[in-house]
Amino acid sequence: MSTIKDNIRPVFPFTAIVGQEEMKLALILNMIDPKIGGVMIMGDRGTGKSTTIRAIADLLPQISVVRDDAFNSHPTDAELMTDMVQELINSGQSLVTSLIDVPMIDLPLGATEDRVCGTIDIEKALNEGVKTFEPGLLAKANRGILYVDEVNLLDDHLVDILLDSAASGWNTVEREGISIRHPARFVLVGSGNPEEGELRPQLLDRFGMHAEIRTVKDPSLRVQIVEQRSQFDQDPYLCLKEYENQQNQLKSEIVRAQSILDDVIIDFSLRMKISQVCGQLDVDGLRGDIVTNRAAKAFAAYKGKLNVTSDDIEEVIVLCLRHRLRKDPLETIDSGLKVRQVVSEVFN
């Protein structure tokens, strides 16, 4: 008998994706520690950005939610539950929970603010005379991933709302005399093509990491990618079976990293060096320092270590800082290269 699971459209396995190591690492680290603040992926058309982002959600363990709750409320963590669920707990009621896959929500370019934030259920208001809140995409994305393709074409006002919610972990809606606040703790992943324009610097700065994707030039790698895609399109289940062991291994590495993350230590001398790099690069604000510290800890946890080394920092620091440098139109050197130069001066 076929189950609903068999009828769900299969997703290309994350471990089968060839190349694009920068993007894959940035996504994995954000899954280990969502507080890194999301990732902006800029790159050429047709380089597998959307495929990779959809594939990462498949690697995450299921989460426990309060059943029939539109906001994916956590049954025990007050930071991840609605006020209504908290009231139920305080009044001594027992909650019915269920396990769900980590939500992966796509935000379409034409989305309105009401669709993103939620709005008043007009039908109920007219028929029953009750003002009820109709949750938006931010509610659906709570404790999951919110993916915005072509984020550089999205209205700046909407990008602002997304970044505010991602940073605070809450979404507040004031509509027709109703005030609603609900948790909106998600990993924001944006992708875009630089040919279609850059994101404003003040918006770009609020993404934790920035990965750059280039089209693979090596002919043998290109052939490998094309063959893999063709095989998957012909028989997705065979391809999933082939990569099952690698997928499970990466899954368990992410789960282990999440469990030891709080115990990872980064020495004061290394924290000083990170801040020295940020100072020398003239990075505005302290976001760069904070994100690099977080990412280095997540990377160490991913490698199964409890102490961050300078190598761990060097692996992640370009991803954390390259989009925070001030743009100089006369500058000929690539921002990633500039970060690497300063890092090698400070660390070596």
Smallest CA-to-CA distance from 208 within 163, 250, 150, 170 is with: 163
192 and 290 co-located in one domain:
no
Q: What is residue 126's predicted lDDT score, i.e. its pLDDT? A: 67
Ordered alpha helix ranges (H), the chain: 4-7, 21-32, 49-57, 83-90, 113-117, 122-128, 137-140, 156-168, 201-204, 219-234, 236-242, 244-260, 268-280, 287-302, 310-321, 335-347
283 belongs to a structural domain? yes
What value does the mean pLDDT take over residues 265-286? 92
21 and 158 co-located in one domain:
yes
Tell me the CATH number at 185: 3.40.50.300
Q: Check pLDDT > 80 for residue 330.
A: no
Q: Check pLDDT > 90 for residue 19.
A: no
183 belongs to a structural domain? yes
207 and 112 co-located in one domain:
yes
Q: Dihedral angle at the C-alpha atoms of 146, 151, 154, 156, nearest 10 degrees?
A: 90
138 and 20 co-located in one domain:
yes
Using the 3D structure, point to which of 159, 183, 215 is the last residue of a domain: 215
8 belongs to a structural domain? yes
The mean predicted confidence, pLDDT, of the chain is 85
Q: What is residue 158's predicted lDDT score, i.e. its pLDDT? A: 87
Q: Check pLDDT > 80 for residue 312.
A: yes
Using the 3D structure, point to which of 157, 190, 215 is the last residue of a domain: 215
Which domain covers residue 22, as residue numbers?
Answer: 4-60+101-215
Number of domains in the chain: 2
pLDDT bin (cut points 50, 70, 90) of residue 131 is low
Please tell me which residue, 248 or 198, carries the higher pLDDT value: 248
65 belongs to a structural domain? no
79 belongs to a structural domain? no
What value does the mean pLDDT take over residues 42-48? 80
User: DSSP of 281-326, one letter per residue?
Assistant: TT-SSSHHHHHHHHHHHHHHHHTT-SB--HHHHHHHHHHHHGGGSP
Please tell me which residue, 79 or 123, carries the higher pLDDT value: 79
128 belongs to a structural domain? yes
Which residue's entry shows tokens 């000929």?
332
181 and 271 co-located in one domain:
no
Q: Which two tokens stand for residue 347?
A: 């660390």
What value does the mean pLDDT take over residues 283-305? 93
Q: What is residue 66's predicted lDDT score, i.e. its pLDDT? A: 87
Q: Check pLDDT > 90 for residue 290.
A: yes
For residues 132 and 253, what is the distance between their CA atoms, to the nearest angstrom?
42
Most confident of 90-94, 140-144, 257-261: 257-261
14 belongs to a structural domain? yes
Q: Which two tokens stand for residue 178?
A: 């109703």
Using the 3D structure, point to which of 215, 247, 271 is the last residue of a domain: 215
Q: Which two tokens stand for residue 159?
A: 């990008």
Q: Is there a catalytic annotation at residue 287?
A: yes
275 belongs to a structural domain? yes
193 and 302 co-located in one domain:
no
Query: Active site residue: 143, 185, 287, 294, which one?
Result: 287
119 and 18 co-located in one domain:
yes
% of the chain with per-residue pLDDT over 90: 26
What are the tens digits of pLDDT across the range 187-232?
899 888 888 877 777 778 888 999 988 887 888 888 888 888 888 8
203 and 270 co-located in one domain:
no
200 and 271 co-located in one domain:
no
- Which pTM was predicted? 0.88
Q: What is residue 26's predicted lDDT score, i.e. its pLDDT? A: 94
Tell me the CATH number at 279: 1.10.8.80
334 and 185 co-located in one domain:
no
User: DSSP of 92-132, one letter per residue?
Assistant: TPPPPEEEEPPPEEE--TT--HHHHHEEE-HHHHHHH----
Contact at 8 Å (CB) between 249 and 243? no
The CA angle 31-263-86, to the nearest 5 degrees, is 65
Q: Check pLDDT > 50 for residue 1.
A: no
